[in-house]
Amino acid sequence: MSTDTHVPHPSTDVEMPAVAGDAATEERTRERISDLGQSLRTATGGRYGEVRDLARATLPAEAMVRDPDMSLDEAREWTRRTLATMVEHGAAGSGFPLEQGGLNDVGRSCVDFELTAHGDLSVTVKSGVHFGLFGGAVTSLGTAWHHENVLPPTLSLEQIGCYAMTEYGHGSDVSSLETTLTYDAGSDELVVHSPTPSSTKAYIGAAAADARMAAVYGQLIVDGKGHGVHVALVPVRDEDGNPMPGVTLGDHGLKGGLAGVDNGTITFDQVRVPRRMLLNRYGGISDEGRYESDIEGDNKRFFTMLGTLVRGRICVAAGAAVSSRKSLSIATRYALRRRQFDAPGHEGEVTLLDYLAHQRKLLPAIATCYAHTFALNEVFERLQELHEAPEKDQVAQRELETRAAGLKAVITRFANDTNQVAREACGGAGYMAENGLTVLRQDADVFATFEGDNTVLLQLVAKGLLSNYKEMFGDLDMRGMVQFAARSIGDQFIEVTAARPFVSRLIATAARRSEDETLLERGWHLSMFADREKHVLETVANRLRKNAKDSDSFRAFNEAQDHVLLAARTHVDRVILEAFVAGIEECQDEEARTVLERLCTLYALSSIEADSGWFQEHNRMSAARSKAVTAQINRLCAELRPDALAIVEGMGVPEAWLNSAMLREPERWTPGAGQAQADTGQVQPSAVATAE
Beta-carbon count within 10 A of 185 CB: 13
Pick 251 or 292: Cβ nearer a second copy:
251
Rounded least distance, CB 535 to a second copy, Å: 8
Catalytic residue among 31, 114, 178, 451, which? 451
Burial 208-228 (b: 16+ CB within 10 A, else e): bbbbbbbbbbbbbbbeeeebb
Which three-class secondary structure state does DSSP give residue 664?
helix
Output the smallest distance, CB 512 to a second copy, in A. Answer: 26
CB of 252 to a second copy, least distance (A): 5
End-to-end CA distance of the chain: 47
Please work out, in degrees rounded to the nearest 5, the angle formed at the alpha carbon of residue 484 by the alpha carbons of 480 and 487: 140
- In degrees rounded to 5, what are phi and psi of residue 478? -70, -35
Identity of the residue, 88 or 552, whose beta carbon is nearer to a second copy in the bound complex = 552
Least distance to a second copy, CB of residue 78, Å = 15
> In the complex with a second copy, which residue's Cβ is closer, 51 or 363?
363
Contact 160, 129 (CB under 8 A): no
CB-based contact 103:118 (threshold 8 Å): no
Cβ burial, residue 395 (10 Å; 0-12/13-18/19+): exposed
Question: Residue 11 forms beta bridges with which residues?
Answer: 34
Query: Longest C-alpha distance within the chain, in Å?
Result: 90
451 annotated active-site: yes
Q: Kindly tell me which of 676 and 691 has the beta carbon lying closer to a second copy.
A: 691
To a second copy, the closest distance from the beta carbon of 180 in angstroms equals 14
* 66 vs 70: CA distance, rounded Å: 9
Nearer to a second copy, 396 or 661 (CB): 661
Please give the helix or strand (H or E) that residue 26 lies within, else none: helix 23-29
Query: How far is Cα 58 from Cα 31, in angstroms, rounded to an integer?
Result: 11
Which amino acid is residue 154, in one-letter code?
Answer: T
29 contact partners, CB below 8 Å, separation of at least 6: 16, 19, 60, 61, 654, 656
Nearer to a second copy, 133 or 581 (CB): 133
Residue closer to a second copy by CB (options 3, 104) is: 3
Closest approach, Cβ 171 to a second copy, in A, equals 5
Q: What is the DSSP letter of 243?
A: B
Pick from 362, 352, 466, 448: nearest CA to 408: 448
Q: How far is the CB of 302 from a second copy (least distance, A)?
A: 15
The Cα-based distances of 111 to 96, 99, 170, 454 in angstroms read: 14, 21, 30, 22
CA dist 39 to 49, 111, 595, 645, Å?
A: 12, 20, 10, 13
Q: Which is nearer to a second copy, 156 or 248 (CB)?
A: 248
Q: Which of 196/248 has CB closer to a second copy?
A: 196
Instruction: Tell me whether residue 526 or residue 556 sits nearer to a second copy (CB atom).
Output: 556
DSSP assignment of 646-675 equals HHHHHTT--HHHH--HHHH-HHHHSTTTTS
Contact in structure between 227 and 298 (CB atoms under 8 Å):
yes
Residues across the chain = 692
Query: CA nearest 231: which of 220, 217, 210?
Result: 217
Cα 34 to Cα 36: distance, rounded to the nearest angstrom: 5
What is the DSSP code string of 277-337?
GB--SSSEE-TTS-EE-SS-SHHHHHHHHHTTHHHHHHHHHHHHHHHHHHHHHHHHHHHTT
Dihedrals phi, psi of 642, to nearest 5 degrees: -65, -25
CB of 614 to a second copy, least distance (A): 8
**Shortest distance (Å) from residue 623 CB to a second copy:** 4
- What are the residue numbers of the active site? 451
